[in-house]
Structure 1
Amino acid sequence: MHTPVVYIHGFIGHLRFPELSTGLPHGYVHAPDLLGYGPFADAAPSRMSIAHQADHLAQWIDRELGGKPPVLVAHSAGAAVAITYARKYPHRIAALVSAEGNLAPSDAFLSSRLAPMTVQGVSEWLEGARRDPGSLLTSDGYRLTGNALDRLSELLNHQNAQTIHAAARAVLMETLRPGYSADVMMVMAHVPTFLIYGERTPQGMGVPPRLRDMAEGEFIIEGTGHAMVIERPEAVADAVAKVLARVQ
């Protein structure tokens, strides 16, 4: 029996691109929507706290996986959800993979920009991004093109401005919370944790050296930055396959 893989998306979009399953056991790769996204789009902003999202994830894992501990692969803001899940349910996770996840406040670069805005301000930002996604710069100043740009367009259309606003605020509040760094260290001390970075991203992306020292391993995705899950999703899947080989 294979260990299931569960991708956790950030506060924009989803992670259901087929390339993210490349080389992974068929039928064991999942990418559920968090509250505010997809079939859960009607969730009230008050339900989009990181704690609520972690409980929502736990309920999904119980329902869809029969509670079998998965490898959680969390991209960007999704790492805050994964850390909270792992802290609350330490025996219901096989390993954690942080794909440039928000393990430190300095990682939440887009959240810190959008969270202070009004919902109307985020709506205007989103409308502009949808009209011209090619104008958006990644955190490393890179413009996406080709398939990555098509995937970005899909992500921008997956939720409304109210969800982005509420989720950005939730991520920023959680990562700035006193005790968040201690929670990250506690999880990494008890759960096998692996780190994935894009080649263009400054090494560590704000993650303190002590956390990098605690990781079981690191993977660099060549030719990518923070948006590696849409730039080279098949390479991310290859890194996840290597993690699976080590923890199964």
Structure 2
Amino acid sequence: MSAHDKPIVLVHGLFGSLSDPKILAAFGNDDVHAPDLIGYGRNRAADTSSLSLLDQARHIADFISGLGAGRVHLVGHSVGGAVSMLVASHFPELIESLTSVEGNFTLKDAFWSGQIAVKPVEEVAGIISGYEADPDAWIAGAGVQINDWTSSLARGWLANQPPSTIKAQAKAVVAATGEPTYLEAVRGILQSDIPVYLIAGRRSAEGWDVPDWANDLCTARINIADTGHLMMAESPNAFAAAVLNCLSYR
């Protein structure tokens, strides 16, 4: 793969990180980054008691500015797709292109976050403890085949953030995508000069609540064959290839 002229920034979803070396290596020679959101990974000690999705967007904007490379190709997965939409809406000067990988468009997309958002943090912790007791079953539930790497990935994703972060992030995405102004902002981005690409796993594509106008206005849409919502865990190479294929559109 040949490198693109701008860095690629990957924004992870509700659990885990996209910084796994195998995922990053799939992008070949491209300059790719996968920062932790507030409350995750190296930022797990951050106060998330009043976290908003716009806080996360500002955090990613600060990361992009810190790269010193000007505009970037921003790629957001699931909840990270909603964060990325807010980055593009509030900080368009930082965005060369935007790719939503089954990013949350509506509360239908955020259905699981909606369930988590209203639970006491102790109950959220209990749910996550159940996943941690059998991480293979947790990730296999999304259609991921279990091998040494995906088993390790599942454990790492589950350990990457405390339950308080999961609850806070769930509340934040429900609050943001539940506002009518959110889809108005999405439409504004799609009608702007920023190229917008939509990527889904073919198995999960029908469940992605993308408005018809978003499919019509996007620069390109790709459904990755033989994958579901966690396509980067099922096939890092296919995930990276889909992103890079999108960036070849002009």
Say yes or no: TM over 0.5.
yes
Kept in 2, the 8 Å contact 1:188–1:215? The answer is yes
Q: 1:119 to 1:230 in 2, by over 3 A?
A: same
Alignment deviations for residues 28-63 of structure 1 (CA, whole Å, 9 cap, x no partner): 100001110122112111353111111111111111
Change (3 A) 1:143 1:94: closer
Counterpart of 1:168 in structure 2 is: 170
Q: 1:224 aligns with which of 227, 234, 239?
A: 227
2:222 and 2:30 mapped to 1: Cα distance?
A: 24
Question: Of 35, 39, 48, which aligns to 1:36?
Answer: 39
What corresponds to 2:146 in structure 1?
Answer: 145
1:187 partner letter? I
Superposition misfits of 4+ residues, deviation over 6 angstroms: none
Match of 2:159 in 1: 157
- Cα distance change on mapping 1:25 and 1:227 into 2, 3 Å: closer
What are the superposed Cα offsets for residues 66-101 of structure 1, whole Å, 9 maximum, x if unpaired?
151111110000011111111111121011111111
- Alignment partner for residue 69 of structure 1, among 54, 57, 71? 71
SS at match of 1:85: helix
Q: CA-to-partner distance for each residue in 1:3-32, whole Å, 9 max, x for gaps?
A: 110000012110012333346353610000
C-alpha distance in structure 1 between counterparts of 2:25 and 2:136, whole Å: 26
Residues 90-138 of structure 1 show CA distances to partners (whole Å, capped at 9, x for unaligned) of 1210111111111222111321221111100110001110111233377
Structure 1 residue 214, shift from structure 2 partner: 0.9
Q: 1:231 to 1:172 in 2, by over 3 A?
A: same
TM-score by length of 2: 0.91
**Preserved CA contact (<8 Å) 2:144 2:234:** no
Gaps of 5+ in 2: none
Q: 1:165 to 1:60 in 2, by over 3 A?
A: same
3-state SS of 1:96 partner = strand
**1:156 Cα shift?**
0.6
For structure 1, the residue ranges without an aligned partner over 5 or more in a row are none
The percent identity for this pair of structures is 34
Contact 1:200–1:225, Cα closer than 8 Å, also in 2: yes
Contact 1:35 1:47 (C-alpha < 8 Å) held by counterparts:
no
Go from structure 1 to structure 2 and tell me whether the alpha carbon gap of 1:42 and 1:23 turns closer, same or farther (over 3 Å shift): closer
The CA RMSD over aligned residues, in Å, is: 2.0
Aligned to 1:243: 246
The structure-2 alpha-carbon separation of the partners of 1:241 and 1:23, relative to structure 1 and needing over 3 Å to count, comes to farther
- For the 8 Å contact 2:65–2:94, the answer to whether it is kept is no
**SS of the residue aligned with 2:10?**
strand
Distance 1:82 1:23, change over 3 A: same
Q: Following TM superposition, by how much is the alpha carbon of 1:155 offset from its aligned partner in structure 2, in angstroms?
A: 0.5
TM (norm. structure 1) is: 0.91
Give the 5 Å matches for 1:9-158.
9-22=12-25, 24=27, 26=29, 28-46=31-49, 48-63=51-66, 65-136=67-138, 142=143, 144-146=145-147, 147-158=149-160
How many matched pairs? 245
**2: CA distance between counterparts of 1:143 and 1:96?**
26
**Amino acid aligned to 2:227:** T
Aligned-partner SS, 1:105:
coil
